[in-house]
Structure 1
Amino acid sequence: MQTQPEQPPADHAQHPLRQLLNDEFHSRPAPPLVAPALVSRLVFTHDAAALAGESRRLDDAAGRTGLSRLSGSANAILFAGAGFILRWERHTEFSSYTVSCSPTTAGATAATASALDLLPRECLQGIPGQLIVATHVELRAAAEVSPQSVTANLSPTGRQMVAAQVADQAAWVFTDFMLDQGATRFLVLDRSLTPRQAGRTVQRLLEIETYRLLALLALPVAREIGGWMHDAEEELATMVDHIGEASSPADESRVLGELTRLAAKVEHSLARTNFRFAAARAYHELVMQRISELRETRVSGCPTFHEIMQRRLLPAMQTCKAMAGRQDELSDRLARTSQLLRTRVDVEVERQNQELLTQMNRRAHLQLRLQETVEGLSVVAITYYASQLVHYLAKGGAHLLPQISPELATAASIPLIAACAMLGIRRLRKRLQQRENAAP
C-alpha cells in the first residue's frame, strides 16, 4: 500500500519570504534548445530609481503587441510571441532581454540574422538604462555546418578566433569577442547535445559575455583613481617629513589640516569605488566559473575561452585589484600617520604637563618654606604677646611679692613661652601630616 507523503502541519507559522525565496531559486532555468536556433540577448545597466516600472512597462508593451505571458515573478518574466520566446530578467545593477527562435522563423539565412529581428520594436522602446551587452548566438547542427569548414576559413592575419569543444566534446563553440554591427557573435555546432545541454551551453555563453563586460566596468575607474593616487602617496610622504620637522604647535596644526584633507579625499574615493571593485571581482569569478562549466577541450590553432580570459581579462582584473589594494593601503597609511601625529601631540602635552607639575612642586616648596618662616614669626609673635601678659601679671603681683621685679619675671618667661609655642606648633603640624598620610 502506497502511503501519501506527510504534509507540514497547517498551523505552523510560515516565514513571509519562504515562497519568494523558493520562486527565486527556480526563476532562471536554462530553456531547452534544439538546433538550429538563434538566441539574442540585450543587457542594460540601470539605477535603482528606474527599476520600479520596468516590468510594468514590459507588460504593457507585450499586451499591445500580442505577446502572451507564460510565467513570471518579480525578477523574471517569460513571454511567448509568434515563433519566438522573450525572457526578461532583472539583476542587481542590470536587466537582460533574451530572445530565442529558429532561423526559419526569423525568415533569414544571412550571417547577420538574429532573434531580435522578430521582437516587436515596442518591447525595446523606453527601456531604462544604457545598453552594455548585445550578443547573438547561432546554434547549428554539426551535420549542417561542419567545424572543419569554420576553422578552414580562419586567416592568420585576420581576427583571432576563440574556439573549443565543450560539454565533453559534444559541441563546438566559435567566437572572436569582437563587435560585429554592435554585437558579439557565438557559433555553436551541436554534435550530440541534448536539448537541456544545448540550453545550458548557450546560457553559459551569454553569461560569460555579460559578466565579462560588467567586470570590465571597473577598469576605467581603476585608471581614473590611478591618476591621482601617485600624487596622493607623494603628498603623504611629504607630510610625514613635515611631521618630523615640525617645531611648533602651529606647524603641527598645519600638517594636521593637510592630513585631514587628504584623508577625506581618500575616504571619498573608497566610498565611491568599493562597490565597483567588489562587483568586478564577483563578475570575474562568475566568468571563470561558467568557463569551467563548459568543460572545454582545445581546438588546434585556436585559444580556448580560459586562455583568452587569462590573457586579456585577468590583467584588467589584476589592475583593479591592485588599485583597490593601493587605496586600502593609502587609507591605512593615513591612519598610521594620523596616529603618529597624535602620538607626537600627546608627548608634547605630557611634556608640558610635566613642566607644569614641576612648577607646581617648586611653588609648593616655596610655600612650605614661607610657611616655616611664618611659623617662626608666629612663635615670636606668640612669645611677645604672652610675655606682655606675664609682664602685666608681674606688675600686678608686685604688691604681694615686692622682691620679684616685673622685668625679671618677663625676661625669665620669654624662653619658656617660646619653647612651649614651638613645641605646640610642631605637634600640631605632625598631627596634620599624619591625617594627610592616612587619607585615601
Structure 2
Amino acid sequence: MTLAGVSIRLLAATLLTIIAGGTARTQPAAAGAPAVGVVEATRRPITETSEFLGRIEAINRVSVVARVTAFLDKRLFDEGAEIKEGDELYRLERGPFEADLASKQAQVAQLQATLENAKLTTERARTLLGGPAGQQSTYDAAIANQLSLEAQVQAAQAQVQASQINLGYTKINAPIAGKIGRTAVTEGNVVGPSSGVLTTIVSQDPMYVTFPVPLRQGLELRERYGPQGGLDAVVIRLRLPDGRMYGHSGKLNFVDNTIAQSTDTIIVRGEIGNPILRASSAAGVTVHELTDGEFVTVVLEGVQPVEVLAIPRSAVLSDQQGDYVLAVGADNKAEQRRIQLGQSTTTIAAVIAGLEAGDKVIAEGLQRVRPGQTVSPGPASPLILSSMKPAADAPAPQADHGASGSTRLLDRKP
C-alpha cells in the first residue's frame, strides 16, 4: 500500500468520525411527559347578577314656595339640616293679614246683627197676617230681606275663612320630612307666588334607584326571573362611585310602561334603605350614605342561586372556532374539548355544554401541552384552587365600574 493510499484512508476515517459525532450531538434526548395542574369540573350554586348604571332619587321632593305676597321676616331652619314634617321654615309679615282678618270678622258681626233684626221684622209681619192690618206683601218682603241677609252673612264668613287661610300662609311649614337645601331668598325681601322656589326638601330614607335596561336584556331577565316570582325574585345591591359595595339591599317595585325609542331601553326602579350614617353634628347636619341624584352601579342579584358546572377561567382557551379546554383523558393524554360558556366571572367559567361533572381540565402548564400529548397530571396550585372557593371564603371580584348592562356570577357556598 502506498503512502498516498494510507493518507486518503486516514482522512476518510477522520471525516466519518467527525460526521458521526456531530450527528450524535444534534439529536435531542427523549423528553418526559410535561407536568400540568388539573382541576375537576364540579357543580356549584352560583348567584347570577346583572349590572346597570343608575341614579339615586328621593322618593319625595318638594319645592317650597310662598302662597301670599309679603315681606320675609325670618328664616327658621339651618341650611342642609334634617327637618321634620310640620317644622316652620319661614315666617312672613303678618300685620296686614291680621288687620284684613279683623276687618272681615267685623263685617260678619255687622251682617249678623242686621240679620237678627230682619228675623224680628219677619216674625212681626207673620203675626199681623191674622189681623186686619196684616198684608201678605209685607210678609213676603220681610222673608226676602231675611234670606238676602243670610246669604250676605255666609259670603262674609267665607271672606273671613279666606283671610284666615292667607294669614296661615304667612307661616311656611315643611310639608314632608327630609333634608332641606339652601335658601334662595334672605330676610327682608318681598316674596310671593311669583318669587319662585324658596328652598327644596328631599326625603332621605328610603330612596329610589332608577336605571335603564336595554330591551333585549330586559326580556332575558323576564325569562330568567319571571317563573321565580318576577320582581320579588331579584335583590338590588349598589356599588358606590368609590367602588365600595353599599351595605343595604333593596327590592324592585316598578317597571315603566313605555320603551324609550331613542335608546331602546325601559326604566326600572327599586327602593332601598338609606339610614343615618352619622348622627347630627353641632350644625344640625345628618349624614346619609346615599344622596339624591348620586350616580351608582346597580347590581341585580337573583334570590335563588343556580347550579352550574364550574371550572377556572384560566383553563379556557379560544381560537377562531370558539372556546375550548384541554382535558386529561385515558392514559393521561390531553384531549381538546369544545365548550359553550354561560355567564362567567373573571376567575370562574360556567360551562353550559362540552364537559361533564368530574372531568379533569388542565388549568396550569397549558403552554407546554398539545392535544393528544401524554401529560403528567397533578393538583393545581393553591392560587388556582382558591379562585374556585365560594364567596364566603374568598372575596368576589368586582366588575369594571364603567360597564353598563353587564352580567356576571357570584359564587355562593353550597
TM-score (norm 1): 0.20
Higher helix share: 1
Give the TM-score of the pair, scaled to structure 2.
0.21
